[in-house]
Amino acid sequence: MAVTTSTPRPSALRRKRPNAPGELSKRFWATSVMWLLVVAYGFPVLWFLLSSFKPAGELFSYPLTFFPDQPTIKGYTQAWTSFDVATYFVNTLIVAVSATVLTIVASAACGYALAKYNNWWVRAFTVCVLATTMLPGEVILAPLFLVVRDMGLYNSLAAVVVPAVITATGTFMFRQFFLTVPNDLLEAARIDGAGELSTFVRIMLPLSRPIMLTLAIFSFQWRWNDYIWPLVVLNDPNKFTLQIGVASIVGAQNVNWSVLLGASVLSMVPLVAIYLLFQKYVMDADINAGLKD
Amino acid sequence: MVDSMHPPAEAPRVGDVRRGPEPARPRQRRWRRRRLNRYAAAPLVLISVNLLLFVAFFVWPAVTGLVYSFTSYTGVGPAPYVGLDNYQRLLEDEAFYAALTRTLIFTAGVVPLTIVLSLGTAVLLVTDYTRGKTVARVIFFLPWLISPIIAGVIWRWLFGENFGFVNYVIISLGGEAVPWQSDANLSLFVVIIAAAWGNTAFNMLLFVAALKNVPTAYYEAASLDGAGSWDKFRNITLPAIAPTTFIVVLLSILGSMKEYALFASLNDGGPGTSNHLLVQYIFTKGFERAQVGYASAASFVLMLILMVVALVQLAMGRRKES
* Domain boundaries along the sequence of chain A: 90-235+271-283
pLDDT value for A286? 57
Q: Are B271 and B190 in contact (CB under 8 A)?
A: no
DSSP one-letter string for B12-63 = HHHHHHHH-S-S--HHHHHHHHHHHHH-SHHHHHHHHHHHHHHIIIIIHHHH
pLDDT (tens digit per residue) in B133-166: 889 999 999 999 999 999 999 999 999 888 888 9
* B96-106 residues labelled b (16+ CB within 10 A) or e (exposed): bebbbebbeeb
Pick B42's closest partner by Cβ from A29, A197, A224. Answer: A197
**Residue A62 phi/psi, 5° resolution?**
-85, 150
Q: What residues in B contact A232, CB-CB < 8 Å? A: 283, 287
Peptide bond into B7 cis (omega under 30): no
CATH entry, A90-235+271-283, from 3.90.660.10, 1.10.10.10, 3.30.1520.10, 1.10.3720.10: 1.10.3720.10
CA distance B308 to B311: 5
Given a cut of 80, is residue A36 above it in pLDDT?
Answer: yes
pLDDT (tens digit per residue) in A54-101: 887 777 777 777 888 778 888 888 888 878 888 999 999 999 999 999
Given a cut of 60, is residue B204 above it in pLDDT?
Answer: yes
**B78 exposure class (CB count in 10 Å sphere: 0-12, 13-18, 19+):** exposed
Confidence of residue B8 (pLDDT cuts 50, 70, 90): very low
With H, G, I as helix, E, B as strand and everything else as coil, classify residue B181.
Answer: coil
Domains delineated in chain B: 23-68 (no CATH), 87-321 (1.10.3720.10)
Q: Are A83 and B4 in contact (CB under 8 A)?
A: no
pLDDT value for A289? 41
- Interface residue of B139, B211, B256, B288 to substitute, partner A, most A CBs within 10 Å: B139
Q: Which of residues 269-288 of B touch A (CB under 8 A)?
A: 279, 282-283, 286-287
CA distance B134 to A117: 42
What average pLDDT does this structure show over B77-97? 88
Number of C-beta neighbours around residue A11 at 10 A: 17
CA distance B294 to A133: 24
Average pLDDT, chain A: 84
Q: Are B277 and B99 in contact (CB under 8 A)?
A: yes
pLDDT (tens digit per residue) in A205-243: 999 998 899 899 999 999 999 998 999 899 888 999 999
Pick B47's closest partner by Cβ from A63, A113, A246. Answer: A113
pTM metric for this prediction: 0.84
Given a cut of 60, is residue B242 above it in pLDDT?
Answer: yes
CA dihedral B212, B214, B215, B217 (to 10 degrees): -110
Positive/negative CA dihedral, A89, A95, A99, A101: positive
Any B CB within 8 A of A98 CB: no
Q: What residues in B contact A117, CB-CB < 8 Å? A: 36, 39, 42-43, 46
Confidence of residue A292 (pLDDT cuts 50, 70, 90): very low
ipTM given for this complex: 0.85
CA dihedral B231, B236, B237, B239 (to 10 degrees): 120
